[in-house]
Chain A
């Protein structure tokens, strides 16, 4: 994966990082250009990139949420307290 193709000038792991950053809209213009150039030549990374975008799409579609931290803390304390009481 890390071998530099003589056409693309960017190695696959570098392209993968750019691709991951692009999923979070954190790739700058230079990184995007590098990625595009690499994808043009590299079939494996094109496949990876498609898969990666699909995952981003699924994550959005799933509308997953995490519980608020303060709730978790509250529950933890509640459980700890009740658990201790149960045991005594």
Chain B
């Protein structure tokens, strides 16, 4: 019945870049993003027994991460709220309502502003998932990290002409995939 199983030891290699890019456009702060991802992994481990295998591993991790991001905005908003409540909202009844409104607003705005680019980035990572793992890794090092040709050759123990063949294959596959899924 359960088509999807969990393999926590591979989570970091498989999903951390995806989760990171998902988070960074929503919270716009590397430190916070790293903390949220770390919390997500831990929360996922704790609730691993609740995973029914209906969604893919990544979808499941993202759903936990979403909660963490919302929690994060709740937290900073309630902090902000408390400071201002003293000035504008003296009675307890109004305080609650006002906070709820603020939470929703802040989260939506941040998510929407960055939505377009965010989806493009995730579409690229999705496509990279579908090509040869090693090629994708080398392509990422070269294109996203902007690493030197020589450095990558040493790291993966390949020759520069190997590298360019791999890059060429990755680029061709990626362009085809994006044409299908993005445009």
Size of the chain B interface, CB-CB below 8 angstroms? 38
Indicate which residue in B13, B17, B21, B175 contacts A52 across the interface (CB closer than 8 Å): B175
In the bound assembly, the distance between CA atoms of A79 and B168 in angstroms comes to 35
Indicate if the CB atoms of B20 and A55 lie closer than 8 Å: no
- B41–A78 contact, CB under 8 A? yes
Q: Does A72 sit at the interface, judged by CB under 8 A?
A: yes
B9 at the A interface (CB under 8 A): yes
By size class, the interface of chain A is 20 to 34
Given A20-B164, A63-B121, A65-B21, decide whether A82 and B45 contact each other with a Cβ distance below 8 A.
yes
Interface residue? B142 (CB, 8 A): yes
CA distance A20 to B175 in the complex (A): 13
Which of B38, B41, B144, B149 lies in contact with A66, CB distance below 8 A? B144
Instruction: Kindly identify which residue among B20, B124, B140, B142 contacts A62, using a CB–CB cutoff of 8 Å.
Output: B124
Instruction: List the interface of chain B (C-beta within 8 A of A).
Output: 8-9, 11-13, 16-17, 20-21, 24, 34, 37-38, 41-42, 45-46, 48, 117, 120-121, 124-125, 140, 142-145, 149, 164, 167-168, 171, 174-175, 178-179, 182
